[in-house]
Amino acid sequence: MTEKKTTWGVVWSPDFGRYASGQLDASQVRCVLCEQAPCACPPIGSPEYWALTQARHRKGRA
């Protein structure tokens, strides 16, 4: 997955530009966290969600 980062370390979906230009529906934008479209993340705050969040942050540093 190709990532674009700002100086703040924000990770954007690689589909964001096409969504913003009207080429994709929101349901087609891949989630930055689970990398699925539509998003398939576990419920926010669940142990699985926090594990996915931590794994994603580690992946972004590699």
Burial zone of 13 (CB within 10 Å; 0-12 exposed, 13-18 middle, 19+ buried): buried
Left if phi > 0, otherwise alpha if psi is -120 to 50, otherwise beta: which for 28? Answer: alpha
Both tokens of 57, joined, read 């942050």
Provide the pLDDT confidence category of residue 56 given band limits of 50, 70 and 90.
Answer: confident
pLDDT single digits (tens) 3-38:
555 456 677 899 999 999 999 999 999 998 999 999
> CB neighbours (10 Å) of residue 30?
18
Whole-number pLDDT of residue 37: 95
